[in-house]
Copies of this chain bind each other. A is one copy, B any other.
Amino acid sequence: MGTTQAANGTVAATAPEPKYWHLRTVLVRALDSEFNTGEVLPNERDLSARFGVARATLRQALDQLELEGRLVRRRGIGTLVAAPRMGVPVSEAAEGWPGTGRDSWRIVDAQSLPAPAAVCAALGVPADEPVHTVRRLRMMHGQAIGAETLYVPDAVVPHVPAIFAKSSIADSSRARSVLRQLQRLELDGESRSVELGVAEEEQARLLDRPPGTPVLVLTTRYQAQGGIAAVAVSTYRADMCRLTFGASGIVDVTPAADPAEVRTAS
């Protein structure tokens, strides 16, 4: 019962370990030793019966494992053992100006819109001034693993056709124009930050996940012309990604394996 009763009958003063945490531990061991990537676990009702707990309690344990990227749950299908997370390079060498390196990005669209207040402050533009807002997806192994919104003030890319500037019509050719102009600028440096977030409706849709999905939010400030010329806010699926920074010559500590099995499937 996850109880605190010691063998001799005295009450231990330690910590009454929650059932769901104990369950998680048991499942971790099982996953490590008895299951392979892509295998289907018994369904939740069977599992909860087998462990003698309520389904809600079992689900609490599965929630943890999913947060850790060890499980993938698919409605109507079952609970699968996830492949190890992929390493996603976000280092200088791999990117430079967004889209420089031969990364796999898929442009969604672009329009001219007022940016969030925090972004405007960083860019040094008035809070209500429209800026080029480019949205694109980071693809890996044929999967959308991240969604990025790039904010670029008009003044930074003056040669973008006038038809596009100030227009709020979503268009992907505008996106290409903005990115081309950006790449001509000399980049002084970048600074990045990472934090945990949850996907709101918009991002969730782009990543093909339900709202509330945990994501790693990567904010990049591109420095050029003596100031911050652009800001990118990228949300990466926390279940699938390990963001890698710095010297690109080095590879991972975590086991390589071949990703894109469970994750890619269907």
Q: What residues make up the interface of A, taking CB atoms closer than 8 Å to B?
A: 21, 24, 64, 67-69, 85, 87, 91, 118-119, 121-122, 189-198, 211-212, 214, 216, 219, 221, 223, 228, 231, 238-239, 241-250, 252-255
Q: Let me know if A247 and B191 touch, CB within 8 A.
A: yes
Q: Could you say which residues of chain B place their CB within 8 Å of the CB of A231?
A: 253
A217 to chain B, nearest CB (A): 9
A219 to chain B, nearest CB (A): 6
A226 to chain B, nearest CB (A): 12
Q: Could you say which residues of chain B place their CB within 8 Å of the CB of A194?
A: 194, 216, 242-243, 245
Tell whether A193 pairs with B118 under 8 Å between CB atoms, given A64-B212, A198-B64, A231-B253: no
Which listed residue (B21, B24, B219, B245) contacts A191, Cβ 8 A? Answer: B245
Copies in the complex: 2
Pick the most buried of A189, A249, A252, A253: most chain B CB atoms within 10 A of its CB: A253
Q: Let me know if B245 and A245 touch, CB within 8 A.
A: yes
Q: Could you say which residues of chain B place their CB within 8 Å of the CB of A223?
A: 247, 250
A-B contacts besides A189-B246, A193-B253, A196-B238, 17 pairs, CB < 8 Å: A21-B211, A64-B212, A67-B196, A67-B198, A67-B214, A118-B254, A190-B246, A191-B244, A191-B246, A193-B243, A193-B252, A193-B254, A195-B238, A219-B254, A221-B250, A221-B253, A228-B250
Q: Let me know if A121 and B253 touch, CB within 8 A.
A: yes
Q: Let me know if B212 and A253 touch, CB within 8 A.
A: no
In the complex, what distance in Å separates the CA atom of A91 from the CA atom of B242? 18
Q: Let me know if A191 and B250 touch, CB within 8 A.
A: yes
Q: Could you say which residues of chain B place their CB within 8 Å of the CB of A219?
A: 253-254
A103 to chain B, nearest CB (A): 17
Which listed residue (B69, B191, B248) contacts A196, Cβ 8 A? Answer: B69
Q: Could you say which residues of chain B place their CB within 8 Å of the CB of A252?
A: 193
Q: Could you say which residues of chain B place their CB within 8 Å of the CB of A68?
A: 196-198
In the complex, what distance in Å separates the CA atom of A196 from the CA atom of B223? 28
Q: Let me know if A245 and B214 touch, CB within 8 A.
A: no
In the complex, what distance in Å separates the CA atom of A189 from the CA atom of B246? 8
A254 to chain B, nearest CB (A): 6
Q: Could you say which residues of chain B place their CB within 8 Å of the CB of A91?
A: 191
Q: Let me know if A192 and B244 touch, CB within 8 A.
A: yes
Q: Let me know if B196 and A118 touch, CB within 8 A.
A: no
